[in-house]
Amino acid sequence: MSIVKSFSVGDGDMFYIKHGTSNFTIIDCCLVEENKYSIVEELKRESKEKGIIRFISTHPDEDHILGLGYLNKKMNLLNFYCVDNKATKPDKTDDFSEYCALRDDAKKHFYLYKECSRRWMNKEGKDESGIDYGSSGINILWPITSNKHYCGELEKAKNGESYNNLSPVVKYSLKDSATILWMGDLETDFMELIKEEIEMDPVDILFAPHHGRDTGNLPEKWLSEMNPKIIIIGEAPSEDLNYYEGYNTITQNSAGDITLECVTSKVHIYVSNEEYSVDFLDDENMGSFPNYIGTLNL
Protein backbone atom coordinates (compact mmCIF):
# COMPACT_ATOMS: atom_id res chain seq x y z
CA MET A 1 0.00 0.00 0.00
CA SER A 2 1.04 3.61 -0.53
CA ILE A 3 -0.52 7.01 0.08
CA VAL A 4 -0.37 9.83 -2.44
CA LYS A 5 -1.60 13.24 -1.31
CA SER A 6 -2.17 16.42 -3.27
CA PHE A 7 -2.43 19.45 -1.01
CA SER A 8 -4.89 22.21 -1.79
CA VAL A 9 -2.53 25.18 -1.72
CA GLY A 10 -4.22 27.67 -4.02
CA ASP A 11 -2.26 28.73 -7.09
CA GLY A 12 0.52 26.20 -6.61
CA ASP A 13 1.41 22.53 -6.33
CA MET A 14 2.54 20.32 -3.47
CA PHE A 15 2.34 16.54 -3.15
CA TYR A 16 3.77 13.66 -1.21
CA ILE A 17 4.05 9.92 -1.70
CA LYS A 18 4.26 7.74 1.37
CA HIS A 19 5.67 4.64 -0.26
CA GLY A 20 5.10 1.08 0.86
CA THR A 21 8.88 0.79 1.04
CA SER A 22 11.08 2.87 3.34
CA ASN A 23 10.83 5.83 0.95
CA PHE A 24 9.04 9.17 1.21
CA THR A 25 8.81 11.61 -1.69
CA ILE A 26 7.77 15.26 -1.69
CA ILE A 27 6.99 16.88 -5.05
CA ASP A 28 7.12 20.68 -5.19
CA CYS A 29 6.43 23.15 -2.43
CA CYS A 30 3.87 25.92 -1.95
CA LEU A 31 3.77 27.05 1.67
CA VAL A 32 2.26 30.28 2.94
CA GLU A 33 2.01 31.53 6.51
CA GLU A 34 -1.49 30.09 6.92
CA ASN A 35 -0.58 26.53 5.94
CA LYS A 36 3.16 26.03 6.32
CA TYR A 37 3.16 24.80 9.90
CA SER A 38 0.34 22.26 9.48
CA ILE A 39 1.63 20.90 6.16
CA VAL A 40 5.23 20.51 7.32
CA GLU A 41 4.10 18.88 10.57
CA GLU A 42 2.12 16.38 8.49
CA LEU A 43 5.14 15.71 6.29
CA LYS A 44 7.33 15.14 9.34
CA ARG A 45 4.78 12.86 10.96
CA GLU A 46 4.15 10.76 7.84
CA SER A 47 7.85 10.43 6.98
CA LYS A 48 9.29 9.86 10.45
CA GLU A 49 9.73 6.11 10.01
CA LYS A 50 11.08 6.33 6.46
CA GLY A 51 14.77 5.89 5.75
CA ILE A 52 14.92 7.85 2.48
CA ILE A 53 13.26 11.24 2.02
CA ARG A 54 13.57 12.93 -1.37
CA PHE A 55 12.29 16.24 -2.69
CA ILE A 56 11.50 16.53 -6.41
CA SER A 57 11.39 20.07 -7.73
CA THR A 58 9.69 20.25 -11.12
CA HIS A 59 10.84 23.83 -11.81
CA PRO A 60 11.68 27.00 -9.89
CA ASP A 61 8.56 29.13 -10.43
CA GLU A 62 7.54 30.65 -7.12
CA ASP A 63 4.27 28.69 -6.88
CA HIS A 64 6.34 25.48 -6.88
CA ILE A 65 9.13 26.52 -4.49
CA LEU A 66 7.33 28.89 -2.10
CA GLY A 67 8.43 28.06 1.44
CA LEU A 68 11.31 25.85 0.32
CA GLY A 69 13.65 27.52 2.79
CA TYR A 70 11.25 26.82 5.65
CA LEU A 71 10.75 23.23 4.52
CA ASN A 72 14.50 22.62 4.26
CA LYS A 73 15.09 24.14 7.68
CA LYS A 74 12.47 21.87 9.24
CA MET A 75 13.25 18.66 7.31
CA ASN A 76 16.88 18.97 6.18
CA LEU A 77 16.44 17.93 2.55
CA LEU A 78 19.43 15.73 1.82
CA ASN A 79 18.11 14.38 -1.50
CA PHE A 80 17.12 17.18 -3.87
CA TYR A 81 15.98 16.08 -7.33
CA CYS A 82 15.66 18.52 -10.24
CA VAL A 83 16.74 18.89 -13.84
CA ASP A 84 20.25 20.17 -14.47
CA ASN A 85 19.81 23.86 -15.13
CA LYS A 86 21.32 27.30 -14.58
CA ALA A 87 18.08 29.21 -14.07
CA THR A 88 18.40 32.79 -12.88
CA LYS A 89 15.89 35.43 -11.84
CA PRO A 90 16.25 39.19 -12.11
CA ASP A 91 14.66 39.56 -8.66
CA LYS A 92 15.78 36.68 -6.46
CA THR A 93 13.52 35.58 -3.65
CA ASP A 94 14.84 33.79 -0.58
CA ASP A 95 13.19 30.58 -1.77
CA PHE A 96 14.77 30.83 -5.22
CA SER A 97 18.15 31.31 -3.53
CA GLU A 98 17.39 28.17 -1.49
CA TYR A 99 16.50 26.32 -4.68
CA CYS A 100 19.79 27.36 -6.31
CA ALA A 101 21.81 26.34 -3.26
CA LEU A 102 20.22 22.86 -3.22
CA ARG A 103 20.38 22.53 -7.02
CA ASP A 104 24.10 23.31 -7.02
CA ASP A 105 25.06 21.26 -3.96
CA ALA A 106 26.91 18.21 -5.32
CA LYS A 107 26.27 16.31 -2.08
CA LYS A 108 22.50 16.82 -2.23
CA HIS A 109 21.37 17.16 -5.83
CA PHE A 110 20.42 14.43 -8.26
CA TYR A 111 19.69 15.58 -11.79
CA LEU A 112 16.69 14.08 -13.56
CA TYR A 113 16.57 13.01 -17.21
CA LYS A 114 14.82 10.38 -19.27
CA GLU A 115 15.46 6.83 -18.03
CA CYS A 116 17.86 7.94 -15.29
CA SER A 117 18.31 5.46 -12.46
CA ARG A 118 19.32 5.73 -8.85
CA ARG A 119 19.43 3.47 -5.86
CA TRP A 120 16.07 3.54 -4.04
CA MET A 121 14.45 5.76 -6.66
CA ASN A 122 14.01 2.90 -9.12
CA LYS A 123 16.77 0.49 -8.10
CA GLU A 124 17.08 -1.57 -4.97
CA GLY A 125 20.33 -1.77 -3.05
CA LYS A 126 21.91 -1.71 0.36
CA ASP A 127 23.56 1.21 2.08
CA GLU A 128 26.90 1.06 3.88
CA SER A 129 25.30 -0.53 6.94
CA GLY A 130 23.54 -3.19 4.89
CA ILE A 131 20.04 -1.68 4.97
CA ASP A 132 17.96 -2.00 1.80
CA TYR A 133 15.27 0.69 1.67
CA GLY A 134 13.57 -0.76 -1.41
CA SER A 135 12.62 1.02 -4.61
CA SER A 136 10.25 3.98 -4.71
CA GLY A 137 8.89 3.04 -8.14
CA ILE A 138 9.66 6.46 -9.62
CA ASN A 139 10.81 6.73 -13.24
CA ILE A 140 11.51 9.76 -15.41
CA LEU A 141 10.07 9.94 -18.94
CA TRP A 142 11.38 13.41 -19.81
CA PRO A 143 13.61 15.44 -20.41
CA ILE A 144 15.83 14.22 -23.18
CA THR A 145 18.65 16.61 -22.43
CA SER A 146 19.94 16.72 -26.02
CA ASN A 147 16.57 17.72 -27.48
CA LYS A 148 16.92 21.09 -29.24
CA HIS A 149 13.60 22.41 -27.97
CA TYR A 150 14.50 21.50 -24.40
CA CYS A 151 17.93 23.11 -24.80
CA GLY A 152 16.12 26.26 -25.86
CA GLU A 153 14.08 26.20 -22.66
CA LEU A 154 17.24 25.76 -20.60
CA GLU A 155 18.64 28.87 -22.26
CA LYS A 156 15.46 30.84 -21.50
CA ALA A 157 15.69 29.81 -17.85
CA LYS A 158 19.37 30.76 -17.75
CA ASN A 159 18.39 34.19 -19.02
CA GLY A 160 15.64 34.51 -16.41
CA GLU A 161 12.82 34.44 -18.95
CA SER A 162 10.67 31.36 -18.21
CA TYR A 163 10.84 28.09 -16.29
CA ASN A 164 7.66 26.02 -16.90
CA ASN A 165 9.14 23.86 -19.65
CA LEU A 166 12.02 22.71 -17.49
CA SER A 167 9.50 20.35 -15.86
CA PRO A 168 10.29 16.64 -15.96
CA VAL A 169 7.64 13.98 -16.57
CA VAL A 170 7.58 11.83 -13.45
CA LYS A 171 5.88 8.42 -13.34
CA TYR A 172 5.12 6.57 -10.13
CA SER A 173 4.12 2.92 -10.39
CA LEU A 174 3.08 0.69 -7.51
CA LYS A 175 3.22 -3.05 -8.20
CA ASP A 176 -0.28 -4.47 -8.75
CA SER A 177 -1.78 -1.04 -8.18
CA ALA A 178 -1.89 2.43 -9.68
CA THR A 179 0.35 4.25 -12.13
CA ILE A 180 0.34 8.01 -11.53
CA LEU A 181 1.90 10.77 -13.65
CA TRP A 182 3.09 14.30 -12.90
CA MET A 183 4.09 16.77 -15.62
CA GLY A 184 4.82 19.95 -13.70
CA ASP A 185 3.88 23.07 -15.66
CA LEU A 186 4.66 21.90 -19.19
CA GLU A 187 2.93 24.17 -21.70
CA THR A 188 0.88 23.10 -24.70
CA ASP A 189 3.04 24.72 -27.36
CA PHE A 190 6.17 23.05 -25.98
CA MET A 191 4.49 19.64 -25.59
CA GLU A 192 3.38 19.79 -29.23
CA LEU A 193 7.04 20.26 -30.23
CA ILE A 194 8.22 17.20 -28.28
CA LYS A 195 5.22 14.87 -28.52
CA GLU A 196 6.98 12.49 -30.91
CA GLU A 197 9.93 12.15 -28.53
CA ILE A 198 7.90 10.29 -25.90
CA GLU A 199 5.63 7.30 -26.34
CA MET A 200 3.37 7.37 -23.29
CA ASP A 201 2.21 4.22 -21.56
CA PRO A 202 -1.28 3.92 -20.05
CA VAL A 203 -1.70 5.64 -16.68
CA ASP A 204 -4.42 5.39 -14.10
CA ILE A 205 -4.26 8.88 -12.61
CA LEU A 206 -2.85 11.96 -14.32
CA PHE A 207 -2.19 15.28 -12.61
CA ALA A 208 -2.93 17.67 -15.47
CA PRO A 209 0.04 19.86 -16.40
CA HIS A 210 0.09 23.57 -15.61
CA HIS A 211 -2.60 23.15 -12.94
CA GLY A 212 -5.10 22.02 -15.57
CA ARG A 213 -4.99 25.30 -17.49
CA ASP A 214 -5.80 25.52 -21.19
CA THR A 215 -2.18 26.61 -21.62
CA GLY A 216 -1.15 23.13 -20.45
CA ASN A 217 -3.63 21.21 -22.59
CA LEU A 218 -2.12 17.86 -23.50
CA PRO A 219 -1.46 16.78 -27.09
CA GLU A 220 -4.15 14.40 -28.28
CA LYS A 221 -1.43 11.84 -29.08
CA TRP A 222 -0.37 11.66 -25.43
CA LEU A 223 -3.91 11.65 -24.08
CA SER A 224 -4.79 8.77 -26.38
CA GLU A 225 -1.70 6.79 -25.37
CA MET A 226 -2.14 7.44 -21.64
CA ASN A 227 -5.93 7.00 -21.63
CA PRO A 228 -6.07 8.08 -17.97
CA LYS A 229 -8.87 6.71 -15.82
CA ILE A 230 -8.89 9.96 -13.82
CA ILE A 231 -7.44 13.40 -14.58
CA ILE A 232 -6.90 15.60 -11.54
CA ILE A 233 -7.25 19.28 -12.43
CA GLY A 234 -5.40 21.79 -10.28
CA GLU A 235 -6.36 25.08 -8.69
CA ALA A 236 -5.99 27.63 -11.43
CA PRO A 237 -8.88 30.12 -11.84
CA SER A 238 -11.89 28.28 -13.23
CA GLU A 239 -12.03 30.42 -16.38
CA ASP A 240 -8.49 29.27 -17.26
CA LEU A 241 -9.11 25.54 -16.81
CA ASN A 242 -9.47 22.79 -19.39
CA TYR A 243 -11.98 20.29 -18.02
CA TYR A 244 -10.95 17.45 -20.38
CA GLU A 245 -14.36 16.59 -21.71
CA GLY A 246 -14.82 12.85 -22.13
CA TYR A 247 -12.54 11.95 -19.20
CA ASN A 248 -13.32 11.39 -15.54
CA THR A 249 -11.98 14.34 -13.58
CA ILE A 250 -11.50 15.51 -10.01
CA THR A 251 -11.16 19.28 -9.68
CA GLN A 252 -9.04 20.41 -6.77
CA ASN A 253 -10.68 23.85 -6.73
CA SER A 254 -13.78 22.08 -5.40
CA ALA A 255 -12.39 18.92 -3.80
CA GLY A 256 -9.67 20.48 -1.60
CA ASP A 257 -6.91 18.15 -0.45
CA ILE A 258 -6.97 14.85 -2.34
CA THR A 259 -5.68 11.62 -0.78
CA LEU A 260 -5.17 8.48 -2.85
CA GLU A 261 -4.93 5.22 -0.89
CA CYS A 262 -3.28 2.85 -3.37
CA VAL A 263 -3.78 -0.85 -2.63
CA THR A 264 -3.82 -4.00 -4.75
CA SER A 265 -5.97 -3.37 -7.85
CA LYS A 266 -7.68 -0.35 -6.26
CA VAL A 267 -7.33 3.29 -5.32
CA HIS A 268 -9.55 4.56 -2.52
CA ILE A 269 -10.03 8.33 -2.84
CA TYR A 270 -10.66 10.91 -0.13
CA VAL A 271 -10.99 14.71 -0.23
CA SER A 272 -11.07 17.43 2.40
CA ASN A 273 -14.32 19.01 1.19
CA GLU A 274 -17.10 16.92 2.73
CA GLU A 275 -19.60 18.29 0.19
CA TYR A 276 -17.64 17.10 -2.85
CA SER A 277 -18.69 13.99 -4.81
CA VAL A 278 -18.30 12.32 -8.19
CA ASP A 279 -20.41 9.70 -9.93
CA PHE A 280 -17.78 7.50 -11.61
CA LEU A 281 -16.25 5.74 -8.58
CA ASP A 282 -17.39 2.56 -6.84
CA ASP A 283 -18.65 2.78 -3.26
CA GLU A 284 -16.73 0.33 -1.07
CA ASN A 285 -17.53 2.12 2.20
CA MET A 286 -13.93 2.86 3.11
CA GLY A 287 -12.89 4.98 6.06
CA SER A 288 -9.10 5.17 6.37
CA PHE A 289 -9.37 8.96 6.06
CA PRO A 290 -12.24 11.44 6.30
CA ASN A 291 -14.55 12.20 3.37
CA TYR A 292 -14.26 9.08 1.24
CA ILE A 293 -15.71 9.73 -2.23
CA GLY A 294 -15.24 6.30 -3.79
CA THR A 295 -12.88 3.68 -5.18
CA LEU A 296 -11.22 3.41 -8.56
CA ASN A 297 -11.01 -0.27 -9.47
CA LEU A 298 -8.07 -0.86 -11.79
DSSP E strands in the chain: the ranges are 2-6, 15-18, 23-27, 29-30, 52-56, 66, 80-82, 109-111, 138-142, 169-173, 179-182, 205-207, 230-233, 249-251, 258-263, 266-271, 292-297
pLDDT digits (tens, 9 = 90+) for 69-84: 999 999 999 999 999 9
Residue 225 confidence (pLDDT): 98
pLDDT digits (tens, 9 = 90+) for 133-172: 999 999 999 999 999 999 999 999 999 999 999 999 999 9
Give residue 227's pLDDT band: very low, low, confident or very high (50, 70, 90). very high
Domain that holds residue 133: 2-297
Give residue 128's pLDDT band: very low, low, confident or very high (50, 70, 90). confident
Residue 276 confidence (pLDDT): 98
- Crossing angle, helix 68-75 and helix 94-103, to 10 degrees? 50
Average pLDDT over residues 173-193: 97
Residue 252 confidence (pLDDT): 97
Average pLDDT over residues 199-205: 97
Report the CATH number that the domain containing residue 275 is assigned in CATH: 3.60.15
What's the whole-model pTM score?
0.97
Q: Report the alpha-carbon distance of residue 194 to residue 197 in Å, rounded.
A: 5
pLDDT digits (tens, 9 = 90+) for 259-285: 999 999 999 999 999 999 999 999 999
pLDDT digits (tens, 9 = 90+) for 9-66: 998 999 999 999 999 999 999 999 999 999 999 999 999 999 999 999 999 999 999 9
Sequence-distant (6+) residues with CB within 8 A of 200 are 141, 222, 225, 226
Mean pLDDT of the chain: 97
Number of domains in the chain: 1
